[in-house]
């Protein structure tokens, strides 16, 4: 006997869970950067949002991944692709200061970029808890992946080319990216028609 389960509507899930630009701004600014941990948390949030990373990709970063002069990071994406991504002027400044000064306060035990208090590598589950804690402090109920969704949604809303957004997100199938098109169908209809989707 086969069990029938309803198909999950990914569009509805994205529509129901999108952080606004203002919420993202408040979230990124929520850590107290007078402490090394607070500074690191702000860097984590800013990097994930500005580069549209999955949490696992963010956690996999090493010190060699950061090029603050060119305001880019090099990341191993899901599936093993290596991709250079922009983090912007602000992201480059924060990451440069973090790498050159703040990270050293943790006395890192390796070349991992993100550290626990004891210098060991920050893990994915720990990062998820950090995000939840800061979201809760703002009375928000979003996950680390919702930060990635927000980055994509904000790009689409700003009329970024859909193929560029797909590359930014490292989507191998354009159908994964098209979910974001359904959020703003009237604004993007002409652009989508030109692409032939």
pLDDT in tens, 101-112: 999 999 999 999
Nearest alpha carbon to residue 102 among 185, 171, 179, 41: 41
Find out whether 28 and 44 touch, Cβ atoms under 8 Å.
no
Secondary structure of residue 82 in the 3-state scheme? strand
DSSP letter string, 116-153: -TTSSBPPHHHHHHHHHHHHHHTT----HHHHHHHHHH
State the DSSP H helix or E strand holding residue 54, giving kind and residue range, or none if neither: none
The pLDDT, as a whole number, for residue 135 is 96
Main-chain dihedrals φ then ψ at residue 120, nearest 5 degrees: -75, 170
Main-chain dihedrals φ then ψ at residue 86, nearest 5 degrees: -75, 145
Pick the CATH number of 10-195 from 3.40.50.300, 2.40.160.20, 1.10.443.10, 1.20.140.10: 1.10.443.10
Percent of the chain with pLDDT over 70: 81
Cα–Cα distance between 107 and 95 in angstroms, integer? 17
pLDDT in tens, 77-102: 888 888 888 888 898 999 999 999 99
């Amino acid at each position: 006997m086969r069990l029938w389960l309803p198909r999950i509507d990914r569009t509805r899930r994205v529509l129901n869970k999108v952080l606004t630009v203002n919420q993202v701004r408040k979230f990124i600014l929520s850590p107290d950067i007078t402490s090394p941990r607070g500074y690191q948390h702000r860097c984590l949030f800013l990097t994930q949002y500005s580069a549209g990373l999955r949490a696992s990709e963010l956690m996999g970063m090493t010190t060699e991944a950061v090029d603050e002069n060119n305001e880019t990071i090099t990341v191993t994406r899901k599936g093993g692709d290596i991709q250079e991504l922009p983090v912007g002027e602000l992201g480059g400044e924060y990451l440069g200061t973090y790498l050159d000064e703040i990270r050293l306060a943790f006395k890192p035990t390796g070349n991992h970029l993100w550290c626990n208090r004891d210098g060991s590598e920050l893990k994915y589950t720990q990062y998820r808890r950090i995000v939840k804690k800061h979201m809760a402090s703002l009375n928000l109920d979003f996950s680390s992946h919702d930060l990635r969704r927000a980055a994509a949604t904000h790009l689409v809303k700003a009329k970024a080319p859909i193929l560029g957004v797909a590359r930014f997100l490292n989507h191998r199938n354009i159908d994964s990216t098209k979910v974001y098109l359904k959020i703003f169908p009237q604004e993007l209809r002409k652009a989508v028609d030109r692409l032939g989707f």
